[in-house]
Amino acid sequence: MLYQIYETQRSFMEPFADFALAASKLYSNPSSPLQKTPLAQRISAGYDLIYRLGKDYEKPEFEIKTVPVNGVDVAIHERVEINKPFCELRRFKRFSDDPKTLENLKGQPVVLIVAPLSGHYATLLRDTVRSMLSDHKVYITDWKNARLVPLSEGEFHLDDYVNYVQEFIRHLQGIYGNCHVISVCQPTVPVLAAVSLMASRGETTPLSMTMMGGPIDARKSPTAVNNLANERSFEWFENNVIYRVPGNFPGVGRRVYPGFLQHAGFVAMNPDRHAVNHYDYFKNLIKADDISTEAHRKFYDEYNAVLDMDADYYLETIQTVFQEYKLVNGTWDVRSPAGKIERVRPQDITQGALLTIEGELDDISGAGQTRAAHDLCTGLAGKEQRHHEAKGAGHYGIFSGRRWREQVYPLVRAFILEHQKLQAKAPVASVAPAEKTSALQKPVTEATPKARPAPASASTRKVANLKGVNSKAASSKAVAPKTAAAPAVAVKPAAPRPTPPVKVAEPVTTPPANAKATKATKAVTPAPAQAPVPAPAAPVQAKAPAPATRWVAPAASTAVAPVTAAAAPAVQPEGEPTTVTAAPAPAQGKRPSRNKAA
C-alpha cells in the first residue's frame, strides 16, 4: 500500500514541480519584465530549489563521449554486450583514426567493473569508468530497475547475481583470454563468491581482483547500516520494507524493495549535510555561481535517481551478509544455473592477485570490513595480496572525485598493469615442441650409403640396356641407398603447405631391359606429384612411426632429385595422421642434373 501512496503523491506533485521550474525561468530570463523586479534572483532561486526537491529523477546516462589516451582524444561508443533479464553487460568501445593510438589501445588490459545493486544505478560509477577508459578496455554491469522487469522473467536471487558475474567473466575470457575484475561496495561479496566457485571447479580465474569499500566481514567496525540490519529480524524486513509494484509499471505485481525507501535511508544517515548542500545551492544561485550550481545538479541528479530491487535478492543479502555472515563463516551455499548446490570456498583461489581499498572516513563500510578478504583468500601468495587505505576519503571518495583520480586510481592502474605483464610473460603452450625439434634435426632416411657412384652417361646406359642386368643385388647396392621411403607406397599425398614452390628435377623414365630393371628404377625415381604410384605386391616393412609433423630433407648428393611436399611418406600405423612437409628449398645455383641412372 505504501508504494501506491508514494506514486499518488509523486503524480500530484509533478504539476507543481513543473510550475516551479517555469516560474524560476520567468524570474531569471533577461527578456522577462519580472526579471527587473526587486528580489527577482531570490524568487527564481527559491522556485528552482522547489523544483529540484519535487521532481522525479529518472535514470541518468553515462554521457562519456570522448576520453584522452596519451594526449589523443578517443571517441567512445557505448553499447550493450549481453542483455539479461535483470542486468546488461555494457561495453565502452573506443575508436580512433590515429594508427599509433590504435596500436596502443589493442594491448591494454580488459577490466570488468561490477557496479553495486544497492539502490543506485551503475552511472554512479561514471567517474570510475571515465578514468579507467584512458588505460583499459572497460565493461560494466548495468543493473535494471526491478519495477520495469515483467513477472514473466521470474525472480532474482543472490545466487543469480553470483551466476551473472561468472557468466560475464567467462564471456570476457572467451574474447580476450582473461580479464581483471573491480567491485565497488556491495558486489565485493558476490564477486568473491563467484571467483571462489570458479576456482573450486578448476576454471580460469581473473588475473586480479580489486575490491573497494565492501562488507566482506560486516562484523568489523559496524556502521549505522550494519546496526540496522542486526537490530531488526529477517521477518521485520520482509513485513515492513517489501511492497508490490503498482499497476503503472511493466513489473506490476512484483515484490520489491522500493528505491525511494533506500533513498530515504541514505538521506537519514546525514540529514544535516544534505540540508547544508541545498542551502549552499540556493545561495550560489543568487550569486550566479554557475560552476558550483552545475556541480550540485550533477551530483544530486545521480544521487536522487534510485531503482527498486527484487525482494528475494534484497532479503537474501540482508540475511547472508549482515545477519548470518555466511561468507566469513564458510556456510554459504550457492545454487548454480544447473541446480547444483556448491559451497563458497575463497581458500580455493590460488591464481591471480587481490587488492582491497578502504576509505578512512567511510561511514557505510567500516574499517577492516573489506580488508577481511585477505583472511579468506589463504590460497594466494602473500606478495599477491595488497591493501590500501585512502586518507581523507569517504565511501564515495574511493571511486569518485578528486581523491579517486589522484590517490586511488594510480594505484589501481599500476596493480592491474603489473599482473597484466606477468600474464604476458607466462610461457605459451605449444604442440609437441620436443618432437618438432627432433624432426627438424633428423631427416627421414634411416642410413646413408657409404659410397655413391657417379651418374652414368647416356652411352653407358645404352650398353647396360643391351646387355641386361645380370645381378639384382649388384644393381641395388650400386644405385639405391637404403631408405625407409625407398619403395613408393600408395598413400594419398598430403596437401602441400602454402610455401614457395621448390624446383624439382623431372624424373626420367627409360624403357627397362626387363622386369628387374624396372623395379630398380622405381626404387630410385620419386613418385610424381600428380598421381600416386600403385602399391607393390609385397608388404613393406617399416620401423616405428616418426613424429606426427615430419620434415623430409633432400639427399646429400646432387645426383638425386629433391623430394617434394607431395612425395609418398614412410608407412604409418593406420589411424595416425601424418603431415609431410617439404624442407627449406636449397640455395639457388646451378640446376641439378637429372638422374638418368638405371
The reply to whether 116 and 71 lie within a common domain is yes
**7 and 79 belong to one structural domain:** no
Does a structural domain hold residue 539?
A: no
Q: Are 110 and 16 within one domain?
A: no
More confident: 512 or 108:
108
**Higher pLDDT pick, 174 / 455:** 174
Q: With 70 as the cut, is the pLDDT of residue 586 above it?
A: no
C-alpha cell at 144: 535494471
487 lies in a domain? no
Within a domain: 525: no
Confidence grade of residue 554 (pLDDT, cut at 50, 70, 90): very low
Give me 387's grid cell.
Answer: 591493501
On whether both 88 and 185 belong to a single domain, the answer is yes
Residue 557's Cβ-count burial label (10 Å; 0-12, 13-18, 19+) is middle
Which of residues 390, 425, 460 is at a domain's end? 425
Together in a domain, 26 and 75: no
CB count within 10 Å of CB 578 equals 17
Reference 358, options 327, 320, 402, 403; nearest CA is: 403
Same domain, 129 and 33: no
pLDDT in tens, 6-49: 999 989 999 999 999 999 999 999 998 988 888 999 999 999 99
Residue 531 lies in a domain: no
Residue 197: per-residue pLDDT: 97
The CATH number assigned to the domain holding 388 equals: 3.40.50.1820
The model's pLDDT over 217-262, given as tens digits with 9 standing for 90+, comes to 999 999 988 998 989 999 999 999 999 999 889 999 999 999 999 9
Does a structural domain hold residue 380? yes
Q: What is the DSSP secondary structure assignment for residue 434, as one 8-state letter?
A: H
14 with 76, same domain: the answer is no
Would you state the pLDDT for residue 426?
A: 53
Domain range for 323: 66-258+308-425
Position 550 in a domain: no
Q: What pLDDT score does 269 carry?
A: 84
Give the domain-ending residue among 425, 443, 477. Answer: 425
Residue 68 has pLDDT above 90, yes or no: yes
Q: What is the band of 160 on the pLDDT scale with cuts at 50, 70, 90?
A: very high
End position of a domain, from candidates 54, 77, 93: 54
Element (H, E) at 478: helix 472-479
What are 255-310's pLDDT values in tens digits?
Answer: 999 999 999 988 988 899 999 999 999 999 999 999 999 999 999 999 999 999 99
pLDDT of residue 193 exceeding 80? yes
Average pLDDT for residues 199-222, to the nearest whole number?
96
140 shares its domain with 12: no
Claim to verify: residue 165 and residue 253 sit in the same structural domain: yes
The count of structural domains within the chain is: 2
What pLDDT is stored for residue 361 in this prediction?
Answer: 92
Beta bridge partners of 388: 357
For residue 225, what pLDDT is reported? 87
- Quick one: 317 and 227 in the same domain? yes
The DSSP code for 243 is: E
Q: What is the pLDDT of residue 270?
A: 85
Split at pLDDT 50, 70, 90, the class of 70 is confident
Interval 372-423: pLDDT, tens: 999 999 999 999 999 999 999 999 999 999 999 999 999 999 999 999 977 6
Q: What percent of the chain has pLDDT over 70?
A: 71
Do 190 and 337 belong together in one domain? yes
